[in-house]
Chain A
Amino acid sequence: MAQRYDALGRDFTIHASVCTISSVIYLHIAAKSFQKNLAYRAANVAGILTNTFFGAIYISIYTALFRGRGDVGGLDVRDAVTYAIIAQSLLMVMSAFGNRELSEAIVKGQIVTDLSRPLDFYLYWAAIDLGRAVYFLLFRGAPTFVIGMLIFRGRLPADAGTWLLFFSSIVTGTLLSFTFRFIANSLAFWTTDARGILYLTNTLLMFFAGFIVPINFFPAWLRTLAEALPFRGLAQVPINVYLGKMTGPALARVLGEQVLWLIAWVLIGRWVLGRMVQRLTVNGG
């Protein structure tokens, strides 16, 4: 955090100290972002209906598949039903469909203004994403989850500790999602094909997170691959924690890995940002 970025190459040391003192500002930015999303109420209700509907289809499919079977890949039919409910609830929290806000700001040149603000650009966008994630957790994820549980009778976690672990894994997942998307979106700075790239990266993210099919059902080789990648932190990990399928040392190892990934992505993201600023200050945008 020693580095302060100013696209216009101005001396930024004064701002830097102001910035650290009033890191409250990022909470304000997050709150603003939260409020912005609040405006789309009808769209959100429609979204809850959509998520519930897709959940219902998944549940029908799993129920039919499991007919006459016990455990498959460590899940039984009720686990699978619960998986479907939570996956639908987490979709928007984790931005599983991607989010092009940053890349669009880059393409439109908006980031020159953003960069010249006395703010840390990375934290600025992190705050925006945090506000968005909290909004979707409360107003999309929670209702979808409650409705799904009531209609389809999923499992509830064994104890309060599980709830706690579940929430921490959601937080980790959200951060993983943001740090990864920051890098992917930043590529818009160097290529005009950002949309295509985001499309591709997002596909990978969705699939290897376990949003489409639980990784538990993957064939062995694909499962090995999925477990080596960090994306499962967005769906597979939180849901398995919730179901009590991931506990003790195994869970500690997985969460440890996720934190390492997170650090790596923050570093890469900041490095990419540095390059971007360098380019802007040298070429003047």
Chain B
Amino acid sequence: MREGLRLYFRMIGMQVRSEMQYRASFVAELVGNLLVTGLDFVMVAVLLMRFQAIGGWTLAEVVFLYGSSAVSFSLAELFVGTFDNFEQWVVRGDFDRVLLRPLPVIFQMLTGAFPLRRFGRLAQGTIALGVAFVLLKPVWNVGHWLFWGVMLAGGALFFMAIFVLGATLSFWSPQMHEVANIFTYGGQFMTSYPMHIYEAWLRSIFTFVIPLAFVNYYPALFLLGKPDPFGLPGWVSFLAPLIAVAAFRGAIAIWRVGVRHYQSTGS
């Protein structure tokens, strides 16, 4: 375990050093990432300043929801970034190299990239949360803070599961990878706004098929002291860690099936 952890940091270190080879580019991309992902925040701000409220939620409340979702998502992006452009690995046959090394495949995937420049999203998500706290001035006890931490971690884990599932698609059809964007980037975009504004079919998909709502919207309802407009019992707000862990384990299991279907390029 300790040896594994040491190797993990050693391999992440390689990735970070690789990235630092292009220092100027790195800085520009970091700033670029901050701005690009910041556009989502700007959108929330512009719209809610203009319209005051959405589905009964105020600017501050939406910014809180948005910031939580963005932070979870950016953590997922940092840790499982390799899965995000995995179709490239399949197309170029780079996955061969992973299979040739005597380390668990998942371990190598987790250390295959550490896109530091994506700290931009984490940074702007954190800023959004700062703004939300200033506006909301929440009166929370330790339990609330802990609950919020679990909500962020659960969200991150859930997004990781989606990244892994999206990557798994590439084993069958690298071109279909873009469908994964619906659930990764689309999921993040969608969970930035309260779930009840969406039409029933969209809401059902993200509540029951890909239960993102449980790691984001329901915990937020609890923290913001809002009742569930769909009348689900209050305890569903506490399902986040369970659902996140289950989703992640499920995703890994499906990924394993995919690995056996890997058809390296060429003949």
Contacts and interface: CB of A to CB of B under 8 A. Distances in A.
A binds B: yes
Contact of B50 (A53, A63, A73): A73
Contacts of A64: 54-55, 193, 197
Interface residues of B, number: 39
Contacts of A60: 193, 197-199, 202
Interface stretch (A39-47, A265-273, A277-285): A39-47
Given A56-B202, A60-B197, A40 B35 contact: no
A150 interface: no
A72 interface: yes
Most buried by B among A40, A61, A217: A61
B47 A192 contact: no
B210 to A, nearest CB: 12
A193 B47 contact: no
A54 B189 contact: yes
A175 interface: no
Decide if the interface of chain B is mainly helix, strand, loop or mixed: helix
A63 B179 contact: no
A53 B51 contact: no
A69 B50 CA distance: 12
B200 to A, nearest CB: 11
Decide if the interface of chain A is mainly helix, strand, loop or mixed: helix
B43 A43 contact: no
A50 B187 CA distance: 11
Interface in A18-41: 40-41
B46 A57 contact: no
B176 A203 contact: no
A184 interface: no
B103 interface: no
A195 B29 CA distance: 7
B113 to A, nearest CB: 15
Interface stretch (A8-16, A158-166, A205-213): A205-213
B186 interface: yes
Nearest to A215: B46
Contact of B32 (A65, A66, A196): A196
A212 B43 contact: yes
Contacts, number: 113
B55 to A, nearest CB: 5
Contact of A203 (B25, B39, B43, B49): B39
Given A43-B178, A46-B179, A61 B47 contact: yes
A219 B48 CA distance: 11
Given A53-B182, A54-B186, A60-B197, A46 B175 contact: yes
A200 B32 contact: yes
Contacts of B40: 212
Interface string B165-203: 000000001011111011000100110010001110010
B116 interface: no
B54 A50 contact: no
A217 B202 contact: no
B111 interface: no
A57 B50 contact: no
B259 to A, nearest CB: 21
Nearest to A59: B199
B32 A212 contact: no
Contact of A199 (B33, B175, B189): B33
Contact of B24 (A41, A47, A65, A196): A196
Contacts of A42: 173, 175-176
A25 B199 CA distance: 50
A218 interface: yes
B32 A207 contact: no
A255 interface: no
B254 interface: no
A200 B176 CA distance: 28
Nearest to B198: A60
A206 B43 CA distance: 12
A197 interface: yes
Contacts of B123: none
Contact of B39 (A56, A66, A72, A207): A207
B146 to A, nearest CB: 31
A197 B27 CA distance: 10
A196 B178 CA distance: 23
A203 B47 contact: no
A87 to B, nearest CB: 12
Interface in A210-269: 212-213, 217-219, 222
Contacts of A191: 24
A50 B27 contact: no
Contacts of A54: 186, 189
Contacts of B202: 56-57, 60
20 contacts: A42-B173, A50-B181, A50-B182, A53-B186, A56-B199, A60-B193, A61-B54, A61-B193, A63-B197, A64-B193, A72-B51, A193-B25, A194-B25, A196-B28, A196-B29, A202-B36, A203-B32, A203-B36, A206-B39, A213-B47
Given A67-B55, A203-B39, 8 more contacts: A46-B178, A54-B186, A56-B202, A57-B193, A196-B25, A199-B32, A207-B39, A217-B46
